[in-house]
C-alpha cells in the first residue's frame, strides 16, 4: 500500500473538530448546547496547538516536504475560525437576543450597567491585575503564561503595556441586570483609564500564547513522580506554538510583538476580539428555559443488580455488562465500595488513567487499605493533562498504605481493569471489572462506554497475570510464561489476534462465505491495521467503521466510514467479527493508533454471554442506522450527512439506544 492510502492524521482530526463546530450551527440543537459545542471546539483546538502543532513545526524544519501539510493545517484552522466567528456572531448572539439575553460583544457599556461594572472592577477585579509597561524595541522582559489571556494596550507616543485578564481566578462572565452579560475582558477594557491614569489609550487588543505541551520525561533513571512534577512546571514554560491575536491589530504592531516575544511568523494566528472561548461552557443563563438544554435522560437501573444486596455475589452467578451513561454508574461505585468493607475481600488491584478530581473510587480504595486489605494501584503518571491530578492522588493513596505502581518505562498503561480477590474458607473468588473508559464517575455522565463485571475464571486469571506483570516492570519479551487466551493485551497478543481475525474474515470471503467486520473506535491511524482492512475489503469482506475522531483510512469498495457527534461523547471501542455466523464480540480500551498498539498496555475483552453480545450488536446497529446526527466520511474525510432514504424514519442513535437500554 502506498502513502496515498492514508489520510493525514492532523487534517482528519481537524475534520472531526469541524463536525463539533457544525453542531453549534445546528438549529435543532438547544441553544445553550450549541454554545457548549462552541466551547468544546475551542478547547479541542487549544489542545491541538499544544500537542500536535509542535510536531508539525518540527517536521517542517527537518523536511521541507512536510510544509505542505503544515500549510493545509493552517489554512484549515483559519477557515474553521472564520466559520466559528460567523456562527457565534451571526447565529448564537441573535438567538440569545431573541430570548431576551444580551451578551456584550464589543458594543459600548450601557449607562444603566456602568455602576455595577465599576463596583465589580474596583472591589474584585482590580486586585488581580498586574499591568506591565513594555518597550518593544528592547529585549523582552515579560513572559506570557500558557493559555492565559492578555490585553496589549497602546498609548500615544508609541508606548505599550500588557494587562492580564485573570480568567483563571475569576469568572469569565459577569451577569448584569436586565438579563445582560459582559466578558471579564470588557470589564477591564472599560476601566483602562483607572489602570493607566493620565495615559491616552489609542488601542487595545487581546492576545494569547499557546505553548508546547510535549516535555520528555526520562523514565529510566530517578524517581518518576518527582520527574513528572518537574515536567509539569517545564510544560508551562514551553516554546510558543501559537500567538493568537485580535485580527484588528495593526500589522506593524503584530510584527513588533512577534519580534518582542520571539514568536515565528508561522506561529502567529489571527483571531477575534475574544480568545479562550472554551469559557463559553460557563456562560450564565439569566433566563431559565427547558428548551435551552437537552431534555433529561436519567440513567436506567439494572434490575438484577438492584435486587441483590451483594453485587459481588451477583456477578459470581453470571456476567453483567453495563452501558453507561444510559445505565447508572452507581454499580461501578458499588463494586469498589463493597470491596472496601467486605471482610472476605483480601486483595484489590486496579489501573487508574484519568480519575475524577474528587474521586469516590479512590476514596473507596483508601478506605479498603485502612480496613487492612492489600490494595495495589497502577497510576499512570504520564496521562497527558491529568498528570497533576494523578500525582496528587498517588501521594494520598500511598499515605494510606496503598501499594502504588508507577508507569512502566517506555509504556503507558491505558488499560481500564480491576480485580477483587475474596477468600471464603479455603476458596478464593475472583471478580473482575473491565471497561472501555476510565474509572471516572464525572466523565461517566457523558462518555458512552461499556463495562463488564465478570467472574469468568479464564478472564480473571489472566487479569491476575497482567497485574503480576505490571508489578515487575520487566519487558514483555522476558515473560514468555504469560499467555493470554481470552484477553487481548497490548505488548503481548493484541495486534496478532486482531490481525488473525481480520485475515480469517478475508479467507471466509474468498471461500464464498458471508464475511463482515464492524469496528467502532475513537481513532484509527495505525498503518498495519489499516492495510489489513484494505486487504480484507479487496477480498470481499464488508467493513463498517464508526470512527469519532482521527481517521486515516479512506473509504473504498466494501469500506464504509461514519462519525457520530451528539450530546454524549462516543467513547467505547467495539470489534465484531462475523466468523461464519459464530460472531465474536470484543470491547476494550484500545484505539488503533501507533501509540495505543505499540507503546501502551491496552486490554480488549470478549463478551461471551450471548445476551450481552446481542446488546452490543444492537447498539452498534442503531449507530449504523443513524440518519440525523451521523455523517459519512468521504475520501477527503469531509463530513457528509448520512441522509435518509425516501420513506425512512428518523433514527437518532443515542435516543434509540436510550430507549432500548431502558427496556432491558
- Under DSSP, is residue 346 helix (H, G, I), strand (E, B) or coil? strand
Q: Are 633 and 551 in contact (CB under 8 A)?
A: yes
Nearest C-alpha neighbor of 365 from the set 379, 349, 380: 349
| Higher per-residue confidence, 19 vs 69 | 19
What percent of the chain has pLDDT above 90? 76
**pLDDT tops 90 at residue 56:** no
Q: What is the 3-state secondary structure (H, E, C) of 427-443?
A: EEEEEEEEECCCCCCCH
DSSP labels, 42-53: HHHHHHHHHHTH
Distances (CA, A) of 378 to 86, 415, 517: 46, 10, 33
Residue 1's pLDDT is 39
- Give 300's DSSP letter: B
Cell of 651: 433514527
DSSP state letters, 485-548: SS-EETTTTHHHHHHHHHHHHHHHHHTT---EEEEEES-B--HHHHHHHHHHHHHT-EEEEEES
Distances (CA, A) of 318 to 304, 426, 485: 11, 22, 20
Does 46 score more than 80 pLDDT? yes
Inform me whether the pLDDT recorded for 139 exceeds 60.
Answer: yes
Question: Cell 435551552 maps to which residue?
Answer: 292
If you average pLDDT over residues 199-217, what whole number do you get? 82
Whether the Cβ atoms of residue 380 and residue 394 lie closer than 8 Å to each other: no
Asked if residues 565 and 652 have their Cβ atoms less than 8 Å apart, the reply is no
Tell me, yes or no, if 414 is annotated catalytic.
Answer: yes
Residue 229: the pLDDT is 47
Polymer length of the chain: 664
- Picking from 137, 120, 138, 141, the residue whose alpha carbon sits closest to that of residue 129 is 120
Q: What pLDDT sits at residue 2?
A: 39
Could you tell me the CA-to-CA distances from 124 to 130, 132, 156, 182, 493 in Å, in that order?
14, 19, 29, 15, 58
Q: How many CB atoms lie within 10 A of CB 527?
A: 15
Q: What is the pLDDT of residue 474?
A: 64
- Other Cβ atoms less than 10 A from the Cβ of 17: the count is 22
Closest CA to 22 of 47, 9, 40, 5: 40
Least confident of 135-144, 246-255, 291-300: 135-144
Cell of 51: 500537542
pLDDT for 389: 81
pLDDT interval class at 234 (50, 70, 90): very low
Q: What integer is the mean pLDDT of 189-215? A: 89
Mean pLDDT of the region 4-17: 93
Angle at 629 between CA 596 and CA 611, to 5 degrees: 65
How sure is the predictor about 648, in pLDDT bands with cuts at 50, 70 and 90? confident
Integer Cα distance of 438 and 414 in angstroms: 9
Distance CA 131, CA 211 (A): 22
**Across 157-171, 181-195, 467-481, least confident range:** 467-481
The pLDDT value recorded for residue 49 is 86
Residue 483 burial (10 A CB sphere; 0-12, 13-18, 19+): exposed
Q: What is the pLDDT of residue 227?
A: 52
pLDDT of residue 184: 98
- Which pLDDT score is estimated for 123? 97
- Please tell me which residue in 102, 190, 275, 414 is annotated as part of the active site: 414
Q: How far is CA 549 from CA 78, 385, 495, in A?
A: 20, 19, 21
- Average pLDDT, stretch 192-210? 94
pLDDT, residue 213, reads 59
Q: Do residues 161 and 153 touch, judged by C-beta distance below 8 A?
A: yes
**C-beta separation of 77 from 84 below 8 A:** no
pLDDT higher for 312 or 215?
A: 312
What's residue 186's pLDDT? 97
Q: What is the mean pLDDT of residues 12-35?
A: 97
- List strand residue ranges (DSSP E) for 565-657, in order: 569-570, 573-577, 584-588, 600-601, 603-606, 630-633, 639-641
Task: Render pLDDT for 564-623 as a digit per residue (tens, 0 to 9).
Answer: 999 999 999 999 999 999 999 999 999 999 999 999 999 999 999 999 999 999 999 999
pLDDT in tens, 320-365: 999 999 999 999 999 999 999 999 999 999 999 888 889 999 999 9
Mean pLDDT of the chain: 91
Regarding beta strands 412-413 and 600-601, do their DSSP bridges make them parallel or antiparallel, or are they unpaired? parallel
Tell me the C-alpha distance between 462 and 483, whole Å: 8
For residue range 104-120, what is the model confidence (pLDDT) as tens digits? Answer: 999 999 999 999 999 99
Domains of the chain: 1-99 (1.20.58.310), 101-283 (3.30.1840.10), 303-483 (3.30.870.10), 489-661 (3.30.870.10)
CB-CB neighbours of 86 under 10 Å: 11
Q: What is the pLDDT of residues 394-451, one digit of tens each?
A: 889 999 999 999 877 778 899 999 999 999 888 999 999 999 999 999 999 999 999 9
What confidence tens digit (pLDDT) does each residue in 328-338 have? Answer: 999 999 999 99
pLDDT of residue 224: 54
More confident: 384 or 440:
440
Tens digit of each residue's pLDDT (9 = 90 or more) over 81-90: 999 999 999 9
* Mean pLDDT to the nearest integer, 638-644: 90
DSSP annotation of 551 reads B
pLDDT at 645: 82
When pLDDT is cut at 50, 70 and 90, the band that residue 226 belongs to is low
Q: What share of the chain is helix, strand, coil (3-state, %, to 5)?
A: 40, 25, 35
Dist CA 664 CA 657 (whole Å): 11
pLDDT of residue 143: 81
Helices 31-51 + 9-25 axis angle, to 10: 160
User: How are strands ordered across the β-sheet holding 180-183?
Assistant: 102-103, 180-183, 173-176
For the CA atoms of 369, 375, 381, 384, the dihedral, rounded to the nearest 10 degrees, stands at -90
The more confidently predicted of residues 210 and 628 is 628
**Does position 221 have pLDDT exceeding 50, yes or no?**
no
Give the β-pairing of 569-570 and 447-454. Answer: parallel
Q: pLDDT of 438-484, one tens digit each?
A: 999 999 999 999 999 999 999 999 999 999 989 876 655 555 667 89
pLDDT range class, residue 238, cuts 50, 70, 90: low
Distance (Å, whole) CA 151 – CA 172: 14
For residues 250 and 485, give the distance between their C-alpha atoms in angstroms, rounded to a whole number.
65
Q: Which region holds residue 491: left if phi is over 0, alpha if psi is between -120 and 50, else beta?
A: left
Give the model's pLDDT for residue 220.
44
Phi, then psi, of 577 in degrees rounded to 5: -120, 130
Least confident range of 250-264, 294-308, 382-396, 503-517: 382-396
Name residue 586's beta-bridge partners: 575, 606
Mean pLDDT of 55-60: 74
Amino acid at each position: 500500500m502506498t502513502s496515498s492510502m492514508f489520510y493525514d492524521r492532523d487534517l482528519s482530526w481537524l475534520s472531526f473538530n469541524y463536525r463539533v463546530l457544525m453542531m453549534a450551527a445546528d438549529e435543532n440543537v438547544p441553544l445553550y448546547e450549541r454554545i457548549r459545542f462552541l466551547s468544546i471546539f475551542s478547547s479541542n483546538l487549544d489542545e491541538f496547538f499544544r500537542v500536535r502543532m509542535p510536531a508539525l513545526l518540527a517536521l517542517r524544519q527537518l523536511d521541507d516536504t512536510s510544509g505542505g501539510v503544515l500549510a493545509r493545517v493552517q489554512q484549515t484552522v483559519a477557515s474553521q475560525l472564520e466559520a466559528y466567528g460567523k456562527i457565534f456572531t451571526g447565529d448564537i448572539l441573535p438567538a440569545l437576543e431573541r430570548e431576551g439575553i444580551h451578551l456584550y460583544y464589543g458594543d459600548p457599556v450601557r449607562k444603566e450597567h456602568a455602576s455595577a461594572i465599576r463596583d465589580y472592577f474596583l472591589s474584585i477585579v482590580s486586585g488581580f491585575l498586574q499591568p506591565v509597561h513594555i518597550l518593544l524595541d528592547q529585549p523582552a522582559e515579560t513572559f506570557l503564561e500558557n493559555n492565559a489571556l492578555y490585553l496589549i494596550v497602546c498609548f500615544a507616543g508609541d508606548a505599550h503595556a500588557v494587562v492580564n485578564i485573570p480568567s483563571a481566578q475569576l469568572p469569565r462572565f459577569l451577569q448584569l441586570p436586565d438579563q445582560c452579560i459582559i466578558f471579564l475582558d470588557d470589564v477591564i477594557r472599560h476601566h483602562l483609564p483607572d489602570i493607566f491614569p493620565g495615559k491616552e489609550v489609542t488601542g487595545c487588543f487581546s492576545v494569547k500564547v499557546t505553548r508546547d505541551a510535549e516535555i520528555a520525561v526520562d523514565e529510566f533513571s530517578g524517581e518518576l513522580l518527582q520527574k513528572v512534577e518537574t515536567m509539569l512546571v517545564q510544560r508551562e514554560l514551553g516554546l510558543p506554538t501559537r500567538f493568537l491575536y485580535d485580527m484588528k491589530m495593526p500589522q506593524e504592531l503584530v510584527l513588533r510583538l512577534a519580534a518582542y516575544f520571539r514568536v515565528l511568523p508561522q506561529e502567529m494566528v489571527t483571531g477575534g476580539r475574544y480568545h479562550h472561548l472554551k469559557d463559553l461552557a460557563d456562560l450564565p443563563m439569566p433566563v431559565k428555559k427547558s428548551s435551552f438544554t437537552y431534555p433529561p435522560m436519567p440513567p436506567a437501573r439494572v434490575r438484577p443488580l438492584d435486587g441483590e444486596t451483594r453485587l459481588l455475589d451477583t456477578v459470581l452467578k453470571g456476567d453483567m455488562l453495563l452501558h453507561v451513561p444510559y445505565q447508572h454508574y452507581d454499580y461501578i461505585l458499588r463494586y469498589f465500595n463493597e470491596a472496601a468493607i467486605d471482610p472476605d475481600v483480601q486483595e484489590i488491584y486496579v489501573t487508574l488513567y484519568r480519575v475524577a478530581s474528587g474521586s469516590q473510587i479512590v476514596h473507596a480504595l483508601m478506605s479498603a487499605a485502612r480496613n487492612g486489605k492489600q490494595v495495589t494501584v497502577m497510576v499512570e503518571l504520564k496521562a497527558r493533562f491529568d498528570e497533576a491530578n494523578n500525582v496528587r492522588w498517588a501521594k494520598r493513596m500511598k499515605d494510606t498504605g496503598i501499594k502504588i505502581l508507577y508507569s512502566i518505562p517506555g509504556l503507558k498503561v491505558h488499560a481500564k481493569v480491576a480485580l477483587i480477590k475474596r477468600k471464603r474458607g479455603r476458596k478464593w473468588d475472583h471478580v473482575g471489572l473491565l471497561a472501555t473508559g476510565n474509572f471516572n464517575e464525572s466523565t461517566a455522565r457523558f462518555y458512552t462506554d461499556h463495562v463488564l463485571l465478570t467472574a469468568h475464571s479464564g478472564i480473571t486469571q489472566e487479569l491476575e497475570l497482567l497485574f503480576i506483570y505490571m508489578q515487575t516492570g520487566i519487558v514483555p519479551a522476558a515473560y514468555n510464561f504469560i499467555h493470554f487466551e481470552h484477553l487481548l493485551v497490548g505488548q503481548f497478543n493484541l495486534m496478532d489476534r486482531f490481525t488473525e481475525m481480520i485475515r480469517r474474515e478475508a479467507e471466509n470471503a474468498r471461500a464464498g462465505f458471508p464475511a463482515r467486520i464492524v469496528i467502532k473506535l475513537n481513532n484509527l491511524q495505525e498503518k498495519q491495521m489499516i492495510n489489513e482492512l484494505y486487504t480484507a475489503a479487496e477480498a470481499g469482506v464488508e467493513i463498517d467503521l464508526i470512527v469519532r475522531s482521527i481517521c486515516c483510512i479512506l473509504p473504498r469498495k466494501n469500506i464504509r466510514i461514519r462519525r457520530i457527534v451528539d450530546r454524549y461523547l462516543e467513547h467505547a471501542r467495539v470489534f465484531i467479527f462475523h466468523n461464519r455466523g459464530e460472531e465474536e464480540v470484543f470491547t476494550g480500551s484500545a484505539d488503533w493508533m501507533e501509540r495505543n498498539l505499540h507503546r501502551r498496555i491496552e486490554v480488549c475483552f470478549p463478551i461471551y454471554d450471548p445476551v450481552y453480545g446481542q446488546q452490543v450488536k444492537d447498539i452498534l446497529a442503531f449507530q449504523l442506522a443513524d440518519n440525523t446526527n451521523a455523517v459519512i466520511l468521504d475520501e477527503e474525510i469531509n463530513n457528509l450527512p448520512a441522509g435518509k432514504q425516501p420513506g425512512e424514519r428518523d433514527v437518532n442513535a443515542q435516543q434509540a439506544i436510550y430507549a432500548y437500554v431502558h427496556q432491558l
